[in-house]
Amino acid sequence: MSLVAIGYQPPEQIKAAASAVDIDTSVSSSLAPQTLSVDDLVATRVATNIAESADLPVASNVANLSQSIAAESVLAQNDANIVAKPQVVQASADTRQIQTYTAKAGDTVTDIAKQYHLSPQTIRWANDMESDAVEPGRKLKILPTDGILYTIQSGDSIQSLASRYKANVEQIRTYNDLELGGFKPGKKIIIPSGNLPADERPGYEAPVAPVAANAGIAYGTYGGGNGTGNNYAASVGNRYGFGQCTWYAYERRAELGRPVGSFWGNASTWAYYASAAGFRVDGSPAVGAIMQNGGGYGHVSIIESVNPGVSVTISEMNAYRFGGGFNRIGHGEISWSEAVSGMYQYIH
């Protein structure tokens, strides 16, 4: 006949063992969470069954030991068996506040959007911008999330805005706490993930009959554009002919905080003088760069935005392809294939 003897001490100090053959009342090692094994768990369960069947005085102690080891085998952690309590982070109202950013020289909408983890179009729409080139010192509204900044108008409803801007009714309501503050005309709200229709985007003008291009200038493929009057006044240092493409390029670059030389001659020689002055000149279009082509007097434009692989948006003066002309500024797109075809140089 075999006898079973069980020795018991608090769980953190002993290692329980049971044997149907050998009698062993001594314990030589401590029970540590790092060394829990299947054998420990099985052994204590067997000991519990035997102790309870034999109605031994230590039966309840052994049962407790078995339960503790079972729990520790599940919850054992690398750091002294400590189970970290999950932290609940409460969203702060500050995360929904509109911020203000003051642009620096060389900033672009794309750079600012990356800084705030937003899409470039969110920045453009919130600040009524047609261009990705940003004037230094300009204060920009930065939304807390991608979407549309909208001022509620009389007759609007949450449902009508959601339908119009392809957004979610509940997101509009909860994001702006409209269930608390109400939906009132004149109130500014954010429409999360909203999409502005084309006729509400900055710079939109209703389609007009195409303007014939100057027969003396060869243009490549380009998208529809529009022209605007010239609101610039000649700045100190502008030595170029008033109303010409070079005059406008000088003023636009000064506005962007990226001035160019006053004596670079006709547009056809701008790349040469720019390179001599230390400007980078290459065949890669970039926001804010001057797009220059030679031949005759040449022509210069300003890169306003870049959609790699698709198109480049430019502004220019004294050219007729985008509704511009003498002392009139044209805006429009040229295809990406034309922009990188080698017919233009870019002054950065």
- Cα gap 188→4, rounded to integer Å: 80
Q: What is the mean pLDDT of the chain?
A: 79
- E strand map for the chain: 99-102, 139-142, 147-151, 188-192, 226-229, 281-282, 290-293, 299-307, 311-317, 328-335, 345-347
- Length reported for the chain: 348
CA distance 136 to 18: 80
Rounded (5°) CA angle 165-305-249: 135
Q: What is the pLDDT of residue 65?
A: 66
Query: Which is more confidently placed, 6 or 106?
Result: 106
Enter the tokens of residue 204: 């939109």
Which of these ranges, 50-59, 80-89, 107-116, 229-238, has the smallest mean pLDDT? Answer: 80-89
Share of the chain above pLDDT 90, in %: 55
pLDDT in tens, 286-307: 999 999 998 789 999 999 999 9
Q: Are 298 and 312 in contact (CB under 8 A)?
A: no
As a whole number of angstroms, the distance between CA 200 and CA 206 comes to 11
Alpha helix locations (H) across 225-335? 245-255, 270-276
Q: What are phi and psi of 335, to 5 degrees?
A: -70, 155
Distance CA 81, CA 71 (A): 11
127, 330, 254, 310: CA torsion to nearest 10: 70
Torsion region of 99: left, alpha or beta (phi above 0 gives left; psi -120 to 50 gives alpha): beta
Which DSSP category does 66 fall into? H
Q: pLDDT tens across 217-273, in order?
A: 333 333 445 556 666 777 888 999 999 999 999 999 999 999 999 999 999 999 999
- Rounded to 5°, the CA angle 156-161-167 comes to 165
Nearest Cα neighbor of 127 from 112, 117, 115, 114 is: 112
Task: Say which amino acid occupies 242.
Answer: F
β-bridge mates for residue 37, sequence order: none
CA distance 65 to 70: 9
Determine the distance from the C-alpha atom of residue 260 to the mean position of all C-alpha atoms in its chain, rounded to a whole number: 32
Unique residue bearing structure tokens 């549309």: 148
254 vs 320, higher pLDDT: 254
Is the pLDDT at 94 greater than 70? The verdict is: no
Let me know: does 281 contact 272? Beta carbons within 8 Å: no
pTM: 0.61
